[in-house]
Amino acid sequence: MKTTLEIKQRLEELRTEIQKECISYGEIAEIQSLAKHIEAGDVELLQWAGVEEFDKVMRLSNTDRKKLFFETVQKVGLCRDGNYVSGIPSGSEKDINLFYLLEDILEYPKPCKIPKNFLI
């Protein structure tokens, strides 16, 4: 398993290939596989990774982002007795990537009670 530093370095190498306009299909697939490691504000890599949720999430109000975050928390198994708990998310790759994206945008919310109107 690669370290976070190795992944970040590889993403920068892939960015260089994008900017030189000589990226291969295999490298595009690699960017997509590393999507959860791309920072929320990195529009260039997120778009190449095909993270369509990024565009949708960025158009939401902060309240709607929080609601989507808590809904996603429940989908990825990080909800216990109505509380958001820390841990490793599980479930579909789409939900996990959305969880990491929202977690980054919302600056890593601490575990807390999920508001009743956000429970699904």
- In the chain, % of residues over pLDDT 90: 50
pLDDT band at 1 (very low <50, low <70, confident <90, very high): low
pLDDT band at 89; cut points 50, 70, 90: very high
| Confidence band of 34 (pLDDT split at 50, 70, 90) | very high
Residues 79 and 114 in one domain: yes
Residues 44, 83 share a domain? no
Tell whether 109 and 84 lie within a shared domain.
yes
Greater confidence, 55 or 82? Answer: 82
Query: Do residues 44 and 97 share a domain?
Result: no
pTM higher than 0.75: no
Looking at the structure, do residues 37 and 65 belong to the same domain, yes or no? no
Q: Please indicate, yes or no, whether residues 77 and 63 belong to a single structural domain of this protein.
A: yes
Which amino acid is present at 60? L
- Structural domain including 94 reads 56-118
Residue 2's pLDDT band, with cuts at 50, 70 and 90, is confident
Q: Write down the pLDDT at residue 40.
A: 67
pLDDT for residue 6? 94
- Confidence label for 56 from pLDDT (cuts 50, 70 and 90): confident
Closest by CA to 108, choosing from 48, 16, 13, 40, is 40
| Together in a domain, 41 and 67 | no
Find, among 102, 37, 93, 38, the residue nearest to 70 by Cα: 102
Domain count, the chain: 2
Residue where a domain stops, chosen among 12, 32, 50: 50
Q: Are residues 32 and 73 in the same domain?
A: no
- For residues 43 and 88, membership in a common domain is answered with no
Distance in angstroms (rounded) separating the CA atoms of residues 53 and 51 = 5
